[in-house]
Amino acid sequence: MITPDRTAPTPPATPRQAAAELRATLGLLYRRLRQTRAGADLTLPEGSALSRLDQHGPTTGAQLARIEQVSPQSIGATLRSLEAKGLIGRAPDPRDGRRVILSLTDAGRETLRSKRSARTEQMTRALAALNAEERSQLIAVLPVLEHLAEEL
């Protein structure tokens, strides 16, 4: 971890120690970002489902449950809430009338845009508090973090 005077930390001796330090630091970062409220107050599952629909496009509830790695019952409650808020819509699957296709509404897209914009502004303010060298170091490690995410 970074010491209070923000000097470079001593590298962890083992992958396990690195994992523990990285988990703690990313956990703090994630919690701080989640504290940013914008647009409709969404629960974590609601925000995640909206983001997945935005990324993957229209899909079924069963497919969304698989993507989110939750039970169909759990995703069902989330989807009912999002529909009640007018953030998603349901339409019959043109290829199989027994299935329902879920998609974002204009209000759902605007909610996501607002939420992302607020978080970007929050991150911009935090990055402005770092010096140029710290920002450069952070940018340099992003490809490594992306590679790490792909390995998880």
Q: What is the pLDDT of residues 33-68, one digit of tens each?
A: 877 766 557 888 898 999 999 999 999 999 999 999
pLDDT, position 2: 52
Rounded-to-integer distance, Cα 35 and Cα 144, Å: 26
CB-side exposure of 150: number of CA atoms within 13 Å? 6
- 135 — pLDDT class (breaks 50, 70, 90): very high
pLDDT, position 40: 58
77 pLDDT exceeds 70? yes
Mean pLDDT within 65-90: 94
CB 49 within 8 A of CB 68: yes
Is the pLDDT higher at 125 or at 97?
125
- 13 — pLDDT class (breaks 50, 70, 90): confident
Domains of the chain (ranges, CATH numbers): 38-152 (1.10.10.10)
Mean pLDDT within 119-147: 94
